[in-house]
Every structure is written in structure tokens, then in C-alpha cells.
Amino acid sequence: MFGTPFLAASVSYLLMLAAYYLPRHRYFHIPVMISCILFDAGMPIYLYTHRHWWRRLIDHQEILSSLVWMHFCLLMVLYVLYAVQVLSARKMLRGDPEARLSHHGQGKAMLIVRALTILSGAMLATPTP
């Protein structure tokens, strides 16, 4: 259940958590957050190419599982939060003082949704043969 994707996601989550608490260290905060966003964008591609998704979702009819749909919805919410975060970060870097508060609140929501996404993905994980 706790294979390489789960460990990689957990380590990237810990890095994101550290970057969240060190926002004034821009040379650490910005690259770590961008790396985590790119990691999360690449994870579905990795799983699509390295897992037997068709057999599991279609043949075993797990696509009807509420946990699969919950994980998918959490992932979509996470991607929307990432897009909004990037937009507010760009506003902050341009000097908009109002963007800082919304960026911070979105960051909290992003950490919660990402943790839930990682946990639901771990519950869905099956060991590879």
C-alpha cells in the first residue's frame, strides 16, 4: 500500500509544509512550491503509464467506487487551488498588498486538500506485482 508514489508524495508534502512556514525565504519558498505543483501535475501521468488502471477501474468496476470519485474530486480542487495560488503569487510579486492575505488563506486550504488527496490515494493504492 505504501509504495514509492506514496513516499514521494509524503516527502514532497513535508517540503511544502516547510515552505509554507518559511514564506519570507523566497529562494526556498518559491522553488519548493513550484516543484510540488509540478510533481502533482506529473503524478497522474506516472500512474497512467506505470499502473494497470484499465483492469482495475473498468474490469473490476472500481470506477463506481465513491473513494475513486472522492480522490478525483480532491485532485481537481487541488489543481484549481494551484491555479489560484499562482495567480495570487504573481499579484504579490507585482506589489499588490491585498494578495498576501488571500494567498495565505489559499495556502492553508491547499495544504488540507493535498493531505486529503495523498491519504485517499494511499487508500486506493495496490501493491504492484
Q: What is the mean pLDDT of residues 13-34?
A: 94
Confidence class for position 12, pLDDT limits 50, 70, 90: very high
pLDDT value for 67: 86
Q: How far apart are CA 81 and CA 85, in angstroms?
A: 6
Side chain identity, residue 14? L
pLDDT in tens, 106-117: 999 999 999 999
Side-chain-facing half-sphere of 77: CA atoms under 13 Å: 17
Mean model confidence pLDDT for the chain = 89
Q: What is the mean pLDDT of residues 76-103?
A: 93
Q: Is 49 exposed, middle or buried (0-12, 13-18, 19+ CB in 10 A)?
A: exposed
* pLDDT of residue 31 exceeding 90: yes
Q: How far apart are CA 70 and CA 18, in angstroms?
A: 27
pLDDT value for 1: 44
pLDDT value for 5: 85
Confidence class for position 66, pLDDT limits 50, 70, 90: confident
The model carries a pTM of 0.87
Q: What is the mean pLDDT of residues 3-24?
A: 92
